[in-house]
Chain A
């Protein structure tokens, strides 16, 4: 009886084995990339909000300071979202009939809170503190990007631990003078690393300790 499998099958079987191995690799790589990609991290994807609040208009156009609304950013772990009252300081007079502002007026009238969708979400086991970053020369735009050019908010980073550690391991690459923290258009100078090292020293930043687990996880 003739061979069921001719010699060619040797090659085929080898190819199959290789294909399986490569296939698993490709699937794993794909999954890995998907996990890190915007489909999962929502990096670069604008989030719908109950009121289409535009940072582009309020910050870029009107020139409001970050701290006008995010009042806790220098003192607290949480930067803070403005209470309805803050919106109404202007919007009881301006655009007081606009349809898009109906939820704000409704909140003011009924006392019900506005439900905003969080844009930068960290896992529950990560404890982030805004105030220490802002007080040590990490600018808003380092993590939040050009907020003044965003009609709706999106995240400009993927918030992976790797991304946090990039800075925690080498803050000199990202640090800026304290008086530039709220400047959204600050860009690192050519000698950033040199300046950075100087600032890290000046601001007493314990770089070695920044990558301890308990710095963020507890």
Chain B
């Protein structure tokens, strides 16, 4: 019996097939592109083969035999009354608390040092859901997947709950004793021997503590290290402007954007805001609307690259040459020869001309992984194009302490080596795991920490961390750290705006905050983080009226007038400085290895977060693993396919990694993501992926040449979900057509009626000439939707509907986690994902168009369509899925008997079945996260997107109490609220003034598979792209 793994293409299959030139075709996976037998088999099945089987070694027949007996007995347990439930009222009910009504508090999440403002929902004291704070500039009401998933980290049962001393449980009091013993000596020598290592810090109050420590102990040293840092940005601005600065982009003002290997829509501190502004600048509603244009040059497809109008696959080390080429064409005369590649030249010419034509509205963005020279060139280009002050502004650096993390860590390692450090305090971070391999941080920490002989002075390594992790393991003391939802603090956003981090719950695991740890170093043991924070802000804002101000800050979640000071940078002569060290044309020393932060696990800090592990990564749709991403041609040359394990030899180190074929990947680049392969992590992250840090070197942290790849013959099952829930409507023809037709200029004639036309897209000129291009597909179809003999049901009251704008959606996956958090969707684990049993109600389909080496990429979120003529309802034998009077397809769990007919009959593949009992009720803390307004489903029950019926219900009750209708915008679904780009709009179609009603009238609006006469309530707005006519690369 073929299993899911067999269905995944083998190399042979792919390499033996010719990849046909595909112009007007979209495909989801390489298997589909080559139309492999495994793909056909996959789509002909409702679920992958064997999905209904038990997978624990007991056969179905055996199972039934046992079940027969237990069922007979189980029937009896239905008799008798349910056990008496207990109710425990408060002793003293907190102010404003009404049991049953959630409260929302403004707070902020520090991520990689920078903050995003949030509103956290609290049910009787349990934070359950994170939303964006509309008043916070980095959020504007939206969030990213990290913020959505962070609430699960709070309840992670693997979090450390105990102060540890040399691997044994200890207490905070004893730690203070030990630390003070060591500190007494250190203070006498004005801090000599005290080393503090932190991650990037933007918190003003922590930086104030840093200042106090420096004042008290001028000899103490402060180091900063985060594996994903802004070193290159700071060094680059230093070259360009003579001082390290921090760029803040204004995507709303940018008509032309060039990204040089920069994933600014997904992994920048300002990404949520950038994604919003970027989407707004590309939103065309009627012919003639302005639309920005994005050029991206990058080695491996990213979220940003997938939104590009022109994406140029390039090796990471060639980006500098491209930047120089662009600079030269725009009048910044830097040295070095021009790029040799003809396509790259053509690309540069077109981009340069386009930028020139849009002076003052152009923006060049350099990615964090590019060397300082590229950042300096970006600064020079922005200067030359008159963008400074308009599309980009430069502010003082927001981080305190050493700005060059790599140099800082190197210095720390030297200190450890020299042996004169007496106490090392690590505030968060996990350097033993994340430090570049050549620094050998773990070994050196161990060598330093273990005294050679009795004469040696006593040393103390302290690690403050949420988990007892790799670094804790090698430290004398480990102190549990508070989660941001448990601690007081403050943090600055990408533009410098300060938000107060407000706790919603007392520390669940008894952690300590960064403030407490630093205060301890200043000798201030008896204070609280709250008092420290207020003291600092009282000093800064003045005592007059401070309490009122403080309350307002907490309520708003933003401290006013704290945006970073803008600098008017004096442009240095970049050309002169960079002329000297123009890189030689990058040589052909084999493959290039590129390191990237993982799109869901980041640097490893989310490794024990089940939501993030199971979240399909935006570009690969891989879950639970990282992989060595490789271009299709290269893999074919090496005879490799999905899951084949290869040896990656790089800079004298070797790591084994499974291969994943990535369309759009530059052929000479292998990309690995950081954060996996941890060895001291927790139940969830255990055994996931391989450790890419083991190949990373301090000299070249982001990319480097000379990689050697050799097959090992081994195989690893990779759980990527892009072959799950494939939509194919109607009967399956012998000659299977991919289900999408792209409406290009003359593509109408070619539109095949068997095609399902799921994703519709056209370039801006086509839209301007014919705004109804997406609708015409249906109108001209030989197979139009049928009209019913019966009159359609009239929805007199509310009529809920949704539109999803494919021009805006960048596939970031925030909606998927938002949905999971809101709707108590379980995590199923890698084995179950491999079996096709993932439980996300909302998936984001990804389509490629064109050549596998350089395809266009499309994202399409697919929730339940809430069909008015729902096929699922007709086949349910027990009436467990029925329509309501507002047009929502109700799924009634308590009626469902698990026949799965409904899912079988759903053309959109949006139903999910609980094959096993996936909800985790074994860990008490996990249960605290659950949304009390949504049923926690058990085994044998079908489920699906409900349009967040609990939110509709709550809003309706409030409205009815006030005898009014629900106002437009009052009610948002979880996916809509999470979405950074505003792609998802939900509302009442019967309200002629509602936003969704307006969008449904758009000429771009179309429904998926409407020829099946399902009348979906969820419809799409066709994607409009804005290609440069001068760069006709065959992209329609």
Given contacts A83-B91, A218-B953, 19 further A-B contacts (CB under 8 A): A35-B78, A41-B81, A72-B99, A72-B101, A76-B98, A78-B100, A83-B90, A84-B89, A84-B92, A113-B88, A116-B86, A116-B89, A117-B87, A127-B950, A129-B957, A203-B963, A208-B885, A214-B884, A215-B884
Q: How far is the CB of B793 from chain A (nearest CB, A)?
A: 12
- In Å, the complex CA distance between A185 and B884 comes to 36
Whether, in the assembled complex, B21 has its beta carbon less than 8 Å from a beta carbon of chain A, the answer is no
Chain A CB within 10 Å — which of B84, B86, B87, B88 has the most? B87
Contact A118-B86, Cβ < 8 Å, known A83-B91, A131-B961: yes
Residue ID in chain A nearest B78 by CB atoms: A35
Interface string of B863-880 (1 = CB under 8 A from A): 000000000000000000
Q: How far is the CB of A105 from chain B (nearest CB, A)?
A: 11
Whether, in the assembled complex, B934 has its beta carbon less than 8 Å from a beta carbon of chain A, the answer is yes
- In Å, the complex CA distance between A84 and B949 comes to 35
- In Å, the complex CA distance between A111 and B92 comes to 8
Interface string of B94-112 (1 = CB under 8 A from A): 0000111100000000000
- Chain A residues within 8 Å of B, Cβ to Cβ: 31, 34-35, 39-42, 47, 71-72, 75-78, 80-85, 107-108, 111-118, 121, 123-125, 127, 129, 131-132, 135-136, 203-204, 206, 208-209, 212-215, 217-218
Q: Which residues of A contact B80 (CB under 8 A)?
A: 39-40
A206 contact from B90, B797, B936, Cβ within 8 A: B797
Residue ID in chain B nearest A123 by CB atoms: B894
Whether, in the assembled complex, B935 has its beta carbon less than 8 Å from a beta carbon of chain A, the answer is yes
Q: Are B86 and A213 neighbours in the complex by a CB distance under 8 Å?
A: no
Q: Which residues of A contact B623 (CB under 8 A)?
A: none
Interface residues of B in 909-939 (CB under 8 A from A): 933-936
Whether, in the assembled complex, B185 has its beta carbon less than 8 Å from a beta carbon of chain A, the answer is no
- In Å, the complex CA distance between A217 and B82 comes to 19
Q: Are A132 and B81 neighbours in the complex by a CB distance under 8 Å?
A: no
Whether, in the assembled complex, B576 has its beta carbon less than 8 Å from a beta carbon of chain A, the answer is no
Q: How far is the CB of A218 from chain B (nearest CB, A)?
A: 5
Q: Which residues of A contact B946 (CB under 8 A)?
A: 214, 218
Whether, in the assembled complex, B882 has its beta carbon less than 8 Å from a beta carbon of chain A, the answer is yes
Q: Which residues of A contact B884 (CB under 8 A)?
A: 209, 212-215
Q: Which residues of B contact A124 (CB under 8 A)?
A: 935-936
Q: Are A76 and B82 neighbours in the complex by a CB distance under 8 Å?
A: no
Q: Which residues of A contact B792 (CB under 8 A)?
A: none
Q: How far is the CB of A63 from chain B (nearest CB, A)?
A: 22
Q: Are B882 and A112 neighbours in the complex by a CB distance under 8 Å?
A: no
- In Å, the complex CA distance between A217 and B84 comes to 22
Can you show 21 pairs from A to B with CB atoms below 8 A apart?
A: A35-B79, A72-B100, A75-B98, A75-B101, A76-B100, A78-B100, A80-B98, A83-B91, A112-B91, A114-B89, A115-B86, A117-B85, A117-B87, A121-B84, A123-B82, A129-B957, A132-B961, A208-B885, A213-B884, A214-B953, A217-B894
Whether, in the assembled complex, B886 has its beta carbon less than 8 Å from a beta carbon of chain A, the answer is yes
Residue ID in chain A nearest B934 by CB atoms: A218
- In Å, the complex CA distance between A209 and B886 comes to 8
Residue ID in chain B nearest A41 by CB atoms: B81
Q: Which residues of B contact A83 (CB under 8 A)?
A: 89-93
Whether, in the assembled complex, B888 has its beta carbon less than 8 Å from a beta carbon of chain A, the answer is yes
- In Å, the complex CA distance between A116 and B85 comes to 9
Q: Are A118 and B85 neighbours in the complex by a CB distance under 8 Å?
A: yes
Q: Are A125 and B893 neighbours in the complex by a CB distance under 8 Å?
A: yes
Q: Are A218 and B93 neighbours in the complex by a CB distance under 8 Å?
A: no
- In Å, the complex CA distance between A131 and B949 comes to 18
- In Å, the complex CA distance between A108 and B90 comes to 10
Q: Which residues of B contact A218 (CB under 8 A)?
A: 933-935, 946, 949-950, 953
Residue ID in chain A nearest B80 by CB atoms: A40
- In Å, the complex CA distance between A76 and B100 comes to 6
Whether, in the assembled complex, B892 has its beta carbon less than 8 Å from a beta carbon of chain A, the answer is yes
Q: Which residues of B contact A35 (CB under 8 A)?
A: 78-79
Q: Are B960 and A204 neighbours in the complex by a CB distance under 8 Å?
A: yes
Whether, in the assembled complex, B210 has its beta carbon less than 8 Å from a beta carbon of chain A, the answer is no
Q: Are A121 and B882 neighbours in the complex by a CB distance under 8 Å?
A: no
Q: Is the interface on chain B under 10, 10 to 19, 20 to 34, or 35 or more residues?
A: 35 or more
Q: How far is the CB of B476 from chain A (nearest CB, A)?
A: 37
- In Å, the complex CA distance between A135 and B99 comes to 18
Residue ID in chain B nearest A34 by CB atoms: B79
Q: How far is the CB of A84 from chain B (nearest CB, A)?
A: 4
Whether, in the assembled complex, B890 has its beta carbon less than 8 Å from a beta carbon of chain A, the answer is yes
Q: Which residues of A contact B81 (CB under 8 A)?
A: 39-42
Shortest 8 CB-CB distances between A and B: which pairs?
Answer: A78-B100, A212-B884, A76-B100, A81-B89, A113-B88, A83-B90, A118-B85, A77-B100
- In Å, the complex CA distance between A168 and B950 comes to 19
Q: Are A82 and B89 neighbours in the complex by a CB distance under 8 Å?
A: yes
Q: Are A107 and B91 neighbours in the complex by a CB distance under 8 Å?
A: yes
Q: How far is the CB of B988 from chain A (nearest CB, A)?
A: 14
- In Å, the complex CA distance between A214 and B87 comes to 26
Contact A135-B100, Cβ < 8 Å, known A84-B91, A212-B890, A218-B950: no
Interface residues of B in 650-671 (CB under 8 A from A): none
Q: Are A111 and B101 neighbours in the complex by a CB distance under 8 Å?
A: no
Residue ID in chain A nearest B933 by CB atoms: A127
Interface residues of B in 472-505 (CB under 8 A from A): none
Q: How far is the CB of A161 from chain B (nearest CB, A)?
A: 9
Q: Are B888 and A113 neighbours in the complex by a CB distance under 8 Å?
A: no
- In Å, the complex CA distance between A81 and B98 comes to 10
- In Å, the complex CA distance between A217 and B937 comes to 12
Contact A116-B893, Cβ < 8 Å, known A72-B99, A76-B100: no
Q: Which residues of A contact B91 (CB under 8 A)?
A: 83-85, 107-108, 111-113
Q: Which residues of B contact A212 (CB under 8 A)?
A: 884-886, 890
Q: Which residues of A contact B949 (CB under 8 A)?
A: 214, 218
Q: Which residues of A contact B953 (CB under 8 A)?
A: 127, 129, 214-215, 218
B88 contact from A116, A135, A217, Cβ within 8 A: A116
Q: How far is the CB of A49 from chain B (nearest CB, A)?
A: 10
Q: Are A217 and B893 neighbours in the complex by a CB distance under 8 Å?
A: yes
Q: Which residues of A contact B882 (CB under 8 A)?
A: 213
- In Å, the complex CA distance between A42 and B83 comes to 11
Q: How far is the CB of A30 from chain B (nearest CB, A)?
A: 11
A118 contact from B84, B100, B934, Cβ within 8 A: B84
Q: How far is the CB of A128 from chain B (nearest CB, A)?
A: 10
- In Å, the complex CA distance between A39 and B892 comes to 28
Q: How far is the CB of B795 from chain A (nearest CB, A)?
A: 11
- In Å, the complex CA distance between A81 and B935 comes to 23
Residue ID in chain A nearest B102 by CB atoms: A76
Q: Are A72 and B98 neighbours in the complex by a CB distance under 8 Å?
A: yes
- In Å, the complex CA distance between A208 and B795 comes to 11
- In Å, the complex CA distance between A85 and B961 comes to 29
Residue ID in chain A nearest B880 by CB atoms: A213
Q: How far is the CB of A86 from chain B (nearest CB, A)?
A: 8
Contact A209-B797, Cβ < 8 Å, known A76-B100, A129-B957: yes
Q: Which residues of A contact B961 (CB under 8 A)?
A: 131-132, 135
Q: Are B935 and A125 neighbours in the complex by a CB distance under 8 Å?
A: yes
Residue ID in chain A nearest B937 by CB atoms: A125
Q: Are B890 and A80 neighbours in the complex by a CB distance under 8 Å?
A: no
Q: How far is the CB of A42 from chain B (nearest CB, A)?
A: 5
- In Å, the complex CA distance between A77 and B90 comes to 17
Q: Are B894 and A125 neighbours in the complex by a CB distance under 8 Å?
A: yes
Q: Which residues of A contact B950 (CB under 8 A)?
A: 127, 218
Contact A113-B894, Cβ < 8 Å, known A129-B957, A204-B960, A218-B935: no
Contact A209-B885, Cβ < 8 Å, known A114-B89, A116-B89: yes
Q: How far is the CB of B707 from chain A (nearest CB, A)?
A: 52
Q: Are B88 and A114 neighbours in the complex by a CB distance under 8 Å?
A: yes
Interface residues of B in 53-87 (CB under 8 A from A): 78-82, 84-87
B890 contact from A72, A123, A214, Cβ within 8 A: A214
Residue ID in chain B nearest A212 by CB atoms: B884
Q: Are B890 and A213 neighbours in the complex by a CB distance under 8 Å?
A: yes
Q: How far is the CB of A133 from chain B (nearest CB, A)?
A: 10
Q: Are B960 and A135 neighbours in the complex by a CB distance under 8 Å?
A: yes
Residue ID in chain B nearest A134 by CB atoms: B961
Contact A204-B963, Cβ < 8 Å, known A80-B98, A83-B91, A117-B86: yes
Q: Are A121 and B82 neighbours in the complex by a CB distance under 8 Å?
A: yes
